[in-house]
Structure 1
């Protein structure tokens, strides 16, 4: 049996971290509709739900880490520089089919039948901006859209992909200068927002506000490759590494929950968004601690986060994320499950709250599976064949 050694090409432990982050965000969106706040004994999870939007920043951090990892291997291990054309082809195959499908599904199955647009021109604008990943530039297509509010995350990712190869090349040439410049732009943008604006709906989640998060993820990937090089071969030293990594994981998890708890008790929309921008770097620092420590932690923790179930859930997580909020809102619009009160969430109606939450989680999971198997995978296969044919021609 080969002794375990962290891998800088495949990191299955991050599957569990991705699933955890997406789960918290989806739970927050379901809580917005149900107002069901569970607890573990006397330990209330209220804060985790009230500020459950914050872990989405961790998915951006994770994206920056994984995107730059091949470039980090080039820097540290002398591997070949990733091909830019292949980079964009993989992004298109992974994201576009499901994203387009769900956007059009929401348009034709929900928005149009339920007359959610005032004018045809509003629908055309909304769809065009979603299909071009520019919906975050307009209030009506970003905050007030009926075809997928949560899809802003995908738009930010696609916008970041446009400049990522340039940022990656700059980081390979001058790591500290490039990453610090990215962070400086983000901090300057936040400072301008806090100084000049009174409300932050349109700026809190713009790409400029995430540049330091991407920089942190990219820097973490360089550090991770270096840590895999330093990982010892001797068993006794391995135990020391695993013990230290597990301690870092626990401290980072505690830190992440503390940041979320503090954010949860900030009142007022503008104050919440201002605090979110200011706490974003600290939150992502704690999540980076989780990300870097997991592959080096003790075996039970690694298994918990890297088993086949986590791998399977991570594979459908994007489609789950795109679907879940739309589904939750539409279930409530259809009064499914039926309730006695007109506003069952306000009166804490039981068993409606638990039934509704179970349906949200279950149907979102089922829908994500179907979209992955019937839309994403077949379309990715067809696109791969198309790209290969064009390359040969």
Structure 2
């Protein structure tokens, strides 16, 4: 079977969505400390507060893309009956992609923000190994400046589990060798049950006995189901590449790509309203709202991403919004933007060891848009530096390792 070549023209669009999401996450977190969001005693800024609270929905495409792009090569190997990516090369390339920059940010947070708080070897070793969200000296896992690194832990654990999961799925799907459609159905049937992990974890972490904001809320099971859904998309793309046939989901997206984004915007508005909670509030939600949050987040991510990866979908608007030079550049440095914006928040508030262990100032004590501007500028500068000085060299090293082991090239769209 001879399939169509990968569509590299779509890569800039995927970079663009990464970039805009990273900036959205930065704005959402900065908005709280700027006093824009209505959280606890902070009054917030009407309308802007609601729109900012709604941004809690936007993170899912990161995890969908990870599952899709990484599983695609494994799925393609199943369809073609060839060997998948060499495991050692896969691990080396993936870990070099995220760990070096992560370690730089960890070092900065420990030395510049938390140096006075280091009271044991474990306080340093835990975040270096990504274990701080499971067990830390104060049992919280929330080391100042590293609050959002739970996602890095989730990604690394996904990397470790993916080759095993792919091998098991491959064994089952290859029993239908010679029938790609049947193989695809088997892959999907293996993966879809894992989508239920997220809602189940939401229920568990929102039980009254867990209290508010338990550390388990940030553990990997919360987004493993989303990554499994991303793997489903990777299988669909691999099926198209090998057979040249467009799966039904992608044909539907190609009919009217912008209607998918219109539906995604509707879900965003619903998330702003929060029907089972206080409208515009980002306080810890009841279990009904938490489940709705999870469903909205997953469906929103699918609605945003599928029109971008569907092989025959075309949208001038999407190309302009996501394929322009600024969006693509932000996408390339998006990992650094995501990791750096919390340390930069502490720097903006002159908090931590670098400033004499001054405590974090209360939200709203700095002019809102001044704070947003400072954090945005500082984050982009640091993310750009780590991209060129750390990420790109590490990526080239990973590519050389993969090439030396005759690895299948990283999937592109």
Please state which band the TM-score falls in when normalised by the shorter chain: 0.7 to 0.9
Q: Report the alpha carbon displacement of residue 318 of structure 1 after superposing the two structures with TM.
A: 0.6
Which runs of 5 or more residues in structure 2 are unaligned?
Answer: 38-44, 173-185, 353-359, 407-413
Q: Residue by residue, what CA displacement relative to the aligned partner does 1:317-341 show, whole Å, maximum 9, x if unpaired?
A: 1111111111112211269xxxxxx
> Does the 8 Å CA contact 1:26/1:324 hold for their aligned counterparts?
yes
Name 1:154's counterpart in structure 2. 152
Are residues 67 and 279 of structure 1, via their aligned partners in 2, closer, same or farther at CA, if it must alter by over 3 Å?
A: same
Which segment is superposed worse, 86-95 or 52-61? Answer: 52-61
Instruction: Give the superposed CA RMSD.
Output: 3.7
Q: How far, CA to CA, are the matches of 1:239 and 1:358 in structure 2?
A: 42
Q: Report the alpha carbon displacement of residue 49 of structure 1 after superposing the two structures with TM.
A: 1.8
The structure showing larger relative contact order (alpha-carbon pairs under 8 Å, at least 6 residues apart) is: 2
Name 1:30's counterpart in structure 2. 30
Match of 1:132 among 118, 129, 136: 129
Name 1:282's counterpart in structure 2. 296
Match of 1:179 among 174, 191, 195: 191
> Does the 8 Å CA contact 1:142/1:149 hold for their aligned counterparts?
no
Match of 1:87 among 81, 84, 90: 90
Q: How far, CA to CA, are the matches of 1:193 and 1:321 in structure 2?
A: 25
Q: How far, CA to CA, are the matches of 1:389 and 1:106 in structure 2?
A: 35
Q: Residue by residue, what CA displacement relative to the aligned partner does 1:84-108 show, whole Å, maximum 9, x if unpaired?
A: 2221111121111111111112212
Query: What is the TM-score normalised by the length of structure 2?
Result: 0.75
Query: Does 1:353 pair with 2:351?
Result: no
Q: How far, CA to CA, are the matches of 1:360 and 1:14 in structure 2?
A: 24
Residue aligned with 1:265, SS: coil
Which runs of 5 or more residues in structure 1 are unaligned?
Answer: 233-237, 336-341
Residue aligned with 1:136, SS: coil
Match of 2:165 among 147, 167, 184: 167
How many pairs were matched up? 364
> Does the 8 Å CA contact 2:58/2:300 hold for their aligned counterparts?
no
Match of 1:48 among 11, 32, 51: 51
Q: Report the alpha carbon displacement of residue 185 of structure 1 after superposing the two structures with TM.
A: 4.0
> Does the 8 Å CA contact 1:142/1:152 hold for their aligned counterparts?
no
> Does the 8 Å CA contact 2:192/2:229 hold for their aligned counterparts?
no
**Structure that is richer in helix per residue:** 1
Name 1:339's counterpart in structure 2. none
Q: Residue by residue, what CA displacement relative to the aligned partner does 1:153-208 show, whole Å, maximum 9, x if unpaired?
A: 11111112111112223334342442134234444444444445333421222112
Q: How far, CA to CA, are the matches of 2:119 and 2:255 in structure 1?
A: 60
Which segment is superposed worse, 163-172 or 283-292? Answer: 163-172
> Does the 8 Å CA contact 1:33/1:329 hold for their aligned counterparts?
no
> Does the 8 Å CA contact 2:133/2:142 hold for their aligned counterparts?
no
Q: Residue by residue, what CA displacement relative to the aligned partner does 1:265-293 show, whole Å, maximum 9, x if unpaired?
A: 37584426773355213321221121111
Q: Residue by residue, what CA displacement relative to the aligned partner does 1:220-242 show, whole Å, maximum 9, x if unpaired?
A: 2233455674459xxxxx99974
Are residues 193 and 379 of structure 1, via their aligned partners in 2, closer, same or farther at CA, if it must alter by over 3 Å?
A: closer
Query: What is the TM-score normalised by the length of structure 1?
Result: 0.79
Q: Report the alpha carbon displacement of residue 78 of structure 1 after superposing the two structures with TM.
A: 5.8
Residue aligned with 2:216, SS: coil
Q: How far, CA to CA, are the matches of 2:404 and 2:235 in structure 1?
A: 35
Q: How far, CA to CA, are the matches of 2:106 and 2:53 in structure 1?
A: 27
Residue aligned with 2:215, SS: coil
Q: How far, CA to CA, are the matches of 1:254 and 1:6 in structure 2?
A: 32
Q: How far, CA to CA, are the matches of 2:5 and 2:262 in structure 1?
A: 21
Q: Residue by residue, what CA displacement relative to the aligned partner does 1:328-375 show, whole Å, maximum 9, x if unpaired?
A: 12211269xxxxxx978547x6xx322221111011001100111122
Match of 2:332 among 297, 309, 315: 315
